[in-house]
Structure 1
Amino acid sequence: MWVFKILLSLFLFMNTLISYTFSNRIHSRSLTPLHKYDKKYIEVPVDHFNFANQDTFKLRYLINDENWNPESGGPIFFYTGNEADITLFAENTGFIWELAPEFKALIVFAEHRYYGESLPYGNNSFSDAKHYGYLTVEQTLADFVDLVTYLRSHQDGKHRKLSPVIAIGGSYGGMLAAWFRLKYPAVIVGSLASSAPIWLLPDLMDCEGVYRVTTSIYEVAHRNCADNIKHIWKEINNITTTGEGRSWLSKNWTLCQPLKAENYTQGFKMWLKESFLVVAMANYPYPTEFLGHFPGNPVKELCEHLKTANLRGKELLGSVSNGLRAVYNYSGKAQCLDWSTVGPTTFDSRGWNFQACTQLVMPVCSNGVNDMFEPQSWNIVEYLIKCEQQFKVKPRPYFITKQYGGKHLETSSNIIFSNGLLDPYSSGGVMSNVSNTSIAVLIPEGAHQFDLRESNQLDPDSVQVARKYYKQIFNEWIIKFREHY
């Protein structure tokens, strides 16, 4: 049963991976607030679109008004919350905090329903479909509309001049920021959608893209690195066929949960595949704790141990182990590698697994030829059957495309789609302009959500240039808004 639960959870993660808040598998941590904000709540309907359900709940948001000038209609920088506790993103989106003083802006981080403290039915929120069926993109955006409306008119109970609102989000939050502008252009003046794979949906993108880009990132780090990783899967299959081999691997890799049986192998390999992906996403030039407790340039650190060409057998397995140890345990404090962990304490997989099964069905596969991973096919029929069995609801994999236009965004306006070329999920992002004012910003040296992070002396030029460009565009949006209000 333990193995089955791990495999099922990993199946959902690996086929719908859009949460980028994975914990370090061998290092637990707690968030220490870096920024000053107040925690507040607004009461919103559980169901914005049906009069039959009159239930409400308290949606949490974080707010900082120390720079805001409401009398003159100072702007509101509105972060569209992700699939985790909102404090995680408030502490890792330094770009907003740096920008607010210059624009005299109000900072708001809105929590996504069903995550963090914003649970519509408390401990019963995930008890059955009757309770968790309100976890949808459209309900979430309607929450944000209510919050924006309230903030514009009732900050501290006083009537204020209408403030322009700019939605900012990264990853899934970036998808929400883009859809917010598409759905409610009268509510927000524009959106910055960072690392938002809004086209990583059925029939819109090649499912092999995520792992192809991941592979290229390791190839850039060292020419032999990806090729060595490509052979790790066969070696794991071979050595785990015997108890002696499993014992050697468990000891050599210092696994917290030894590979006691051969049927553990698939779950272990899926965890390893996920690890290579997350390390690539977190490939920042300085140490971070956003996607895990990683050193600077973690892909390079890992590949330092895989430079020798044609590694095979136990030599290859030991080299990969050393590489992972250099990344996951660079602090030297960890005792073992916890490969059974699926998500950190700040990430609630209950909510994301449901979304990934119902609306945000994201095809991810590998073929082992154009990428460094073991072949993994994508079959939407099988995937949806598993989802329906788990959640007892009928998935709607094409709903988002029908609702928000898919690739037909030529009528959209005032959206910045930014993607780092060192981000695996850029494969599902908007990589070219889709209208006169909905534009693509490509960041050659950018990892996942790099542009939303706080400034650092190690930031590459392309990230710094992108941030300066955002400021220019924000200013243009605000000026045009004030010409009409």
Structure 2
Amino acid sequence: MGLWVLAVLLVASRTSGAAALVSPALRAFSSLHSAPRSTASSPGAREFSVHYLQQKVDHFGFSTDKTFKQRYLIADKYWKKDGGSVLFYTGNEGDIIWFCNNTGFMWDVAEELKAMLVFAEHRYYGKSLPYGSKSFRDSKHLNFLTSEQALADFAELITNLRQTIPGVKNQPIIAVGGSYGGMLAAWFRMKYPHMVVGALAASAPIWQFQDMVPCGVFLSIVTRDYKKSGPNCSESIRMSWKAIDRLGSTSIGLKWLSETLNLCSPLNSSQDVEHLKDWISETWINLAMVNYPYESNFLQPLPAWPIKVVCQNLDNPNVNDTQLLKNIYKALNVYYNHSGQARCLNISETTTSSLGSQGWSYQACTEMVMPFCSNGIDDMFEPHSWNLKEFSDDCFKQWHVRPRPAWIPTLYGGKNISSHKNIIFSNGELDPWVGGGVTKDISDSLIAVLIPDGAHHLDLRANNAFDPMSVLVARSLEVKHMKQWIQEFYGSLRKKY
């Protein structure tokens, strides 16, 4: 599940100065358009119905009446009209069906909570495109891709559900999301507290913004994961960058690297070498996010505890350059060729196509400005400083927009969120995004749940026989709070009537 990346995905690029989370969630509408129930054949696929709601492209202005269809999914097998609830997934940067099929936690608790499951697709992702095929044409068409507009979409969708589905009107709704979707779940509870009784924000780095956490914390946590997973592992990776530079400085070395790493496209220049290092860096980052205790295929088909498997190939940094890079190749294959089916390694791809990299690139260049840096000492990466001007120039070159790094903290309160209530912030200590997450209770109802053996939103994934006890405890605590919110809602309703 994410999913979430999923969510959420980080691209630390030396060549462009850009950094983005990857890694990879409406308005009154007279009728609901339902498609046949999905019975996707992929592992873990769920049964749901597909719907669309006509949404305003701009909820906050009055100069355009343009609309688009927002996709959302409903699963109501265990929903009870009397005494039930609604779990509302705040879709993030990707196809909502992918997130739906990967958010097993919601499906696992649906019967216990008598819950209808609703998965709302984020505008500009999947099939919810405000301008169709023109949605990513330029900054004018992308102008309405913001978290504020997405939250307004969710509010309109919930309003429509209450009006059109008998039984939902007087039921408690809980927002659920992971990664960027977890940020949205928390922010939705903060901005629309009358819409949902609470929120589960899994692996939600709501503080990974300007002046709230050190820019190097993310990559230092990635490095910590590799240090814990095998002796000399992080040191081997740290030494590999110079080895790549040395081998990539000659035409013979470029040819050797291309063949030894089995690259789909040969390296021809120093720029290609930089791109190769960026791709390898992102691979190590992705592995840290999906370092799950069992086989999974969230971003790629992977073995259990994949970083441990990677580090088995990197236990000796004191070898020559060619041997070190042969070892790096073996380690990369854990991520890209665990199934043994890959013909070659494509350095233009690191993750699933279900994540919307175009949309997230724009969001990272406008609102979602998350500073990242490395020093090569506290982390295993090449030194790379955070330079807002370079980042801004790169964004302007790509999208003709300039980032607003202080806007998200201004909009959602930064660390000053104690006036809110009924939000669970869950974080895995193996997850690089934990550095920007809420890891200590803020109040009796702003709860932090730490999962020592958890990677990126492990708690939102489906129950698994190999789940560590820490995630079982976390899920139990999350459900306990959800039941409390539901009980309080119905208690208040009884008093009212």
TM-score class, shorter: over 0.9
Aligned 1:257-296 pairs, distance under 5 A: 257-296=265-304
User: Which runs of at least 4 in structure 1 moved beyond 6 Å after TM superposition?
Assistant: 7-10
Matched, 1:131 2:135: no
- Name the counterpart of 2:325: 317
Aligned 1:193-232 pairs, distance under 5 A: 193-232=201-240
| Cα 1:457–1:306 shift into 2, 3 Å | same
Matched, 1:119 2:129: yes
2:19 to 12, 15, 20: 15
- Matched residue type, 2:189: R
Matched, 1:103 2:132: no
Matched, 1:40 2:51: yes
Contact 2:279–2:347 (CA under 8 A) maintained in structure 1? yes
1:93 to 97, 103, 106: 103
Deviation at 1:65, TM superposition (A): 1.1
Structure 1 residues 283-331: Cα deviation after superposition (integer angstroms, max 9, x where no partner): 1111111122211111011001112352341111111111111332121
The runs of 5 or more residues in structure 1 that have no matched partner are 1-6, 22-29
Contact 2:12–2:282 (CA under 8 A) maintained in structure 1? no
- Matched residue type, 1:55: K
| Cα 1:122–1:73 shift into 2, 3 Å | farther
- Name the counterpart of 1:404: 412
Q: Distance in 1 between matches of 2:167 and 2:374?
A: 55
Aligned 1:333-344 pairs, distance under 5 A: 333-341=341-349, 343-344=351-352
Contact 1:279–1:299 (CA under 8 A) maintained in structure 2? yes
| Cα 1:447–1:210 shift into 2, 3 Å | same
Q: Distance in 2 between matches of 1:161 and 1:439?
A: 28
- Name the counterpart of 2:200: 192
2:365 to 346, 357, 362: 357
- Matched residue type, 1:16: A
Q: Distance in 2 between matches of 1:309 and 1:409?
A: 45
- Name the counterpart of 1:83: 93
1:440 to 445, 448, 461: 448
Aligned length: 468
Q: Distance in 2 between matches of 1:372 and 1:63?
A: 44
Q: Distance in 2 between matches of 1:180 and 1:123?
A: 28
- Name the counterpart of 1:64: 75
> What TM-score does the superposition give when structure 1 sets the normalisation length?
0.93
Q: Distance in 2 between matches of 1:259 and 1:280?
A: 27
Q: Distance in 1 between matches of 2:167 and 2:293?
A: 45
Matched, 1:141 2:151: yes
Deviation at 1:146, TM superposition (A): 0.7
Q: Distance in 1 between matches of 2:55 and 2:49?
A: 19
1:384 to 388, 392, 403: 392
Contact 2:375–2:381 (CA under 8 A) maintained in structure 1? yes
Deviation at 1:349, TM superposition (A): 1.8
Q: Distance in 2 between matches of 1:431 and 1:384?
A: 30
- Name the counterpart of 1:26: none
Contact 1:197–1:426 (CA under 8 A) maintained in structure 2? yes
> What TM-score does the superposition give when structure 2 sets the normalisation length?
0.91
Q: Distance in 1 between matches of 2:118 and 2:191?
A: 20
Q: Distance in 2 between matches of 1:240 and 1:257?
A: 15
Deviation at 1:179, TM superposition (A): 0.3
- Name the counterpart of 2:435: 427
Q: Distance in 1 between matches of 2:168 and 2:303?
A: 45
Structure 1 residues 27-55: Cα deviation after superposition (integer angstroms, max 9, x where no partner): xxx95661100110111111111111111
The answer to which structure has the higher helix fraction is: 1
- Matched residue type, 2:157: L
Aligned 1:459-478 pairs, distance under 5 A: 459-478=467-486
Q: Distance in 2 between matches of 1:175 and 1:366?
A: 24
DSSP 3-state at the match of 2:111: helix
Contact 1:18–1:171 (CA under 8 A) maintained in structure 2? no
Of 31-40 and 474-483, more deviation after overlay is shown by: 31-40
DSSP 3-state at the match of 1:103: coil
Matched, 1:52 2:60: no
DSSP 3-state at the match of 2:19: helix
DSSP 3-state at the match of 2:377: coil
Q: Distance in 2 between matches of 1:187 and 1:181?
A: 8
Deviation at 1:19, TM superposition (A): 2.5
Deviation at 1:332, TM superposition (A): 1.1
Contact 1:10–1:271 (CA under 8 A) maintained in structure 2? no
| Cα 1:419–1:246 shift into 2, 3 Å | same
Deviation at 1:73, TM superposition (A): 4.5
The runs of 5 or more residues in structure 2 that have no matched partner are 1-10, 26-40
Structure 1 residues 432-463: Cα deviation after superposition (integer angstroms, max 9, x where no partner): 11222111111000001100000111000000
Contact 1:343–1:349 (CA under 8 A) maintained in structure 2? no
Contact 1:31–1:88 (CA under 8 A) maintained in structure 2? no
Q: Distance in 1 between matches of 2:275 and 2:460?
A: 33
Deviation at 1:160, TM superposition (A): 4.6
Of 319-328 and 404-413, more deviation after overlay is shown by: 319-328
| Cα 1:433–1:103 shift into 2, 3 Å | same
DSSP 3-state at the match of 1:378: coil
Deviation at 1:381, TM superposition (A): 1.8
DSSP 3-state at the match of 1:41: strand
Contact 1:73–1:162 (CA under 8 A) maintained in structure 2? no
Q: Distance in 2 between matches of 1:13 and 1:230?
A: 20
> What percentage of aligned pairs have identical amino acids?
46
DSSP 3-state at the match of 1:231: helix
Contact 1:79–1:167 (CA under 8 A) maintained in structure 2? yes
DSSP 3-state at the match of 2:424: strand
Structure 1 residues 200-242: Cα deviation after superposition (integer angstroms, max 9, x where no partner): 1111111101110000000001121011111000000000001
Q: Distance in 1 between matches of 2:94 and 2:66?
A: 23
